[in-house]
Structure 1
Amino acid sequence: MKSGHLSLRLLALFLQLFSTSLLAQDLGDSTTVVKVGMFITRIINLDTRAQSFEAEFYLWLRWKGKYSAEKYEFVNAKSIERLYEVLEEDDHGLKYLSVKIRGVFLNHMDVSQYPQDRHTLSIVIEDYNWIQTRLRYEIDSASTSMAIRQNAGEWRLKFIEPVVTSNLFPSDKEYYSSFQAKVEATRSLAPFIVKILIPIIIVVLMSMLTFFIPAKEIETQVALGATALLTVIALKFVIADGLPDVDYLTNADILLIGSYLIVFLALCESVFTHVLYTKGKEKVSRKIDKACRIVFPTSYTVFLLILFF
């Protein structure tokens, strides 16, 4: 009797394994493989404040199988304009969807290293109609010719090989195939140097002219220092206009803080040497001024080198 039960259990286990194998084979056979390719022709309006960029590109999808890839979606798109869309099918059932897209895409950008920041821009395509066991993206070999014909203003752009990943959709706990085209954007330092860095350096050096003004002329020294401080504060708003509101310091913020400190200390030095002058210690005040003519520029130069190099 026991041997009969054992035989039934073994048979049930065998049937279960056999049916699972057949099911897996069926799922594998029914999976539609979609070849995806993209050719980016333009990236403009890369806006770190809005955390977005505008792109124009050609997209193509090739597939043959039970499940259609027509219902694709741009996951991180803010707005999309289809300039044209053509679907063709050959005599062997191979379908080819060709699209030209212009759109604005959202992209998280960490600006902590500004103005030396670098970002990976992504255009993400997914098909939410079919789970990964039904429809799976693969990179079309033609995607290797993907290139950018136009740079985005102050940004230097570099193509990164696209990737295909699996994305878990929270509502149904299923994985969906995801195609991601990637471009690396590196900010050019030239605009920042011309518009921000050089003016700040000039203003800070201007504040150091107080070390060459006689200690008795305190009004001139204070006016010079206050003007320099207000100018640096004004430049802060110029920098803030191009950046998002973040809860961390950027390199530009550190530059401003260091510049504030130098200008403020120069102003304090002017007041201190004037007090010494009024107490009859003119020689001491002159020695301090002479020392500051070397210490302040040297300190600021070292600060800049550490910050940007």
Structure 2
Amino acid sequence: MWFRRLLACLLVWVAALGLPSTGGAQSDGASSLVDGAATLGDTLTEVQTGIYVLRLTNVSPRDGSFDADFWIWFRWQGAGVRPDQTFELANGVISNRSDTDVLNDNGYNYAAVRVQGTIYHDFDVRKFPLDDHLLSIEIEDAELEASHLIYMPDAGTELDPKVDVAGWQVVLGRPATDIHAYPTNYGYQSSGETEAKYSRFSVPISLERTSVAPLFKLFWISLLSVVLGLLAFKVKSDDLDARFGMGVGSIFAASANAFVISDSLPETTNITLAEQINLIAVGAIFLTVFISIWSLRLRYAGRDEASVSLDNWSLVVVAVAYLALNALVMLLNLA
């Protein structure tokens, strides 16, 4: 009996020696934090935050998203929080992030993280393909509400000079912070609150069209179709194959261009600038076909001179009306 008791005591003693000390582990994990630094209050921590944007890729109005690669850093006082580990993309998802070490920066905790993620954005495509956009990278803490942690913009937020998005000029805006309220307590009834408020750090990034080249690239086929439809007026109206073949072929070309436009756009109930311009082209070509039928009937009636006069005047009137309508649409949309 005494042998069993002695053996049990030895086993307990060996197990106690093998177990790690909880207090010691916490002390080691927080040894790099500035324990003696003061905070704004007993429970509130101010975190100075900045971003350096390395890349913006896969900017897709159709998918409503873009990919961002950036460094983000945090400077704060106190050992009670780790904002470098608890932050998240409020308007996207993080696909990859680097490990962090906390450094002592003149009495402040400092940590920098490299982040790659996908950010979702509701692109306004009403002026496509001459559309400008204001994107944003928005950061929130996933654990602490605004009563415990607030972000403040830190000096140094910049855009890498090599950042390039085809078709747009990229301009970094001024970072800002605000309090974002969610109208729910997430089911935590003991809080006594009906909403949750979190500090949000936002960096605006504007995309500005620099030329009308996207407009030309998208509509040169439609323009060519309208020109062919107008040139049909120079063919005798009773030459059915040439006269009507040019008009009908032009309509099919302009209609095919409509599918190319829709493939570049998200689902929307708005008629975009691109669709308006293409509709004008289809309407102009359809009008040339209708006038060709009228001119043909004049020839069948033996009024050849009236038919030729109709064709000549129609060429000028339809061309001027086509250009004027395009100018009006551009003016209304881009004003």
| Counterpart residue identity of residue 207, structure 1 | G
Q: Once structures 1 and 2 are overlaid, which stretch shifts more, 220-229 or 26-35?
A: 26-35
Q: Find 1:37's aligned residue among 50, 72, 79.
A: 50
2:175 partner SS: strand
Root-mean-square deviation over aligned CA pairs? 2.0
1:238 partner SS: helix
Once the 2 structures are TM-superposed, how far is the Cα of residue 121 of structure 1 from its aligned partner? Answer: 1.0
Once the 2 structures are TM-superposed, how far is the Cα of residue 194 of structure 1 from its aligned partner? Answer: 4.2
C-alpha separation in 2, matches of 1:240 and 1:54: 23
Once the 2 structures are TM-superposed, how far is the Cα of residue 56 of structure 1 from its aligned partner? Answer: 1.0
| Counterpart residue identity of residue 123, structure 1 | I
Once the 2 structures are TM-superposed, how far is the Cα of residue 240 of structure 1 from its aligned partner? Answer: 1.5
Paired residue for 2:117? 103
Once the 2 structures are TM-superposed, how far is the Cα of residue 146 of structure 1 from its aligned partner? Answer: 4.0
> Is the alpha carbon distance of 1:61 and 1:27 closer, same or farther for their aligned partners in structure 2, counting shifts above 3 Å?
closer
Over the matched positions of the two proteins, sequence identity in percent amounts to 24
| Structure number, greater radius of gyration | 2
8 Å Cα contact 1:225-1:266 kept in structure 2: yes
C-alpha separation in 2, matches of 1:79 and 1:209: 56
C-alpha separation in 2, matches of 1:241 and 1:188: 23
Q: Find 1:248's aligned residue among 251, 262, 270.
A: 270
Paired residue for 1:132? 146
> Is the alpha carbon distance of 1:167 and 1:148 closer, same or farther for their aligned partners in structure 2, counting shifts above 3 Å?
farther
1:111 partner SS: coil
C-alpha separation in 1, matches of 2:260 and 2:146: 48
| Counterpart residue identity of residue 166, structure 2 | G
Paired residue for 1:222? 244
1:205 partner SS: helix
C-alpha separation in 2, matches of 1:187 and 1:234: 25
1:86 partner SS: coil
8 Å Cα contact 2:94-2:115 kept in structure 1: no
C-alpha separation in 1, matches of 2:167 and 2:216: 12
Once the 2 structures are TM-superposed, how far is the Cα of residue 115 of structure 1 from its aligned partner? Answer: 0.8
Q: Which runs of 5+ in 2 are unaligned?
A: 1-38, 186-194
> Is the alpha carbon distance of 1:262 and 1:286 closer, same or farther for their aligned partners in structure 2, counting shifts above 3 Å?
same
> Is the alpha carbon distance of 1:283 and 1:303 closer, same or farther for their aligned partners in structure 2, counting shifts above 3 Å?
same
C-alpha separation in 2, matches of 1:193 and 1:34: 45
Paired residue for 1:114? 128
Structure 1 position 48 matched with structure 2 position 70: no
The alignment covers a number of residue pairs equal to: 282
Structure 1 position 203 matched with structure 2 position 216: no
Paired residue for 1:149? 162
1:200-226 superposed Cα distances (whole Å, 9 cap, x missing partner): 111111101121111221332111100
Structure 1 position 94 matched with structure 2 position 108: yes
> Is the alpha carbon distance of 1:91 and 1:278 closer, same or farther for their aligned partners in structure 2, counting shifts above 3 Å?
closer
Paired residue for 2:175? 162
Once the 2 structures are TM-superposed, how far is the Cα of residue 47 of structure 1 from its aligned partner? Answer: 0.6
1:226-261 superposed Cα distances (whole Å, 9 cap, x missing partner): 000000011111111211111110000101110110
TM-score relative to the length of structure 1: 0.86
1:93-136 superposed Cα distances (whole Å, 9 cap, x missing partner): 62212111122211110101101111111111101311112110
> Is the alpha carbon distance of 1:175 and 1:272 closer, same or farther for their aligned partners in structure 2, counting shifts above 3 Å?
same
C-alpha separation in 2, matches of 1:298 and 1:206: 15
C-alpha separation in 2, matches of 1:91 and 1:54: 31
Q: Find 2:137's aligned residue among 113, 123, 126.
A: 123
Once the 2 structures are TM-superposed, how far is the Cα of residue 191 of structure 1 from its aligned partner? Answer: 4.7
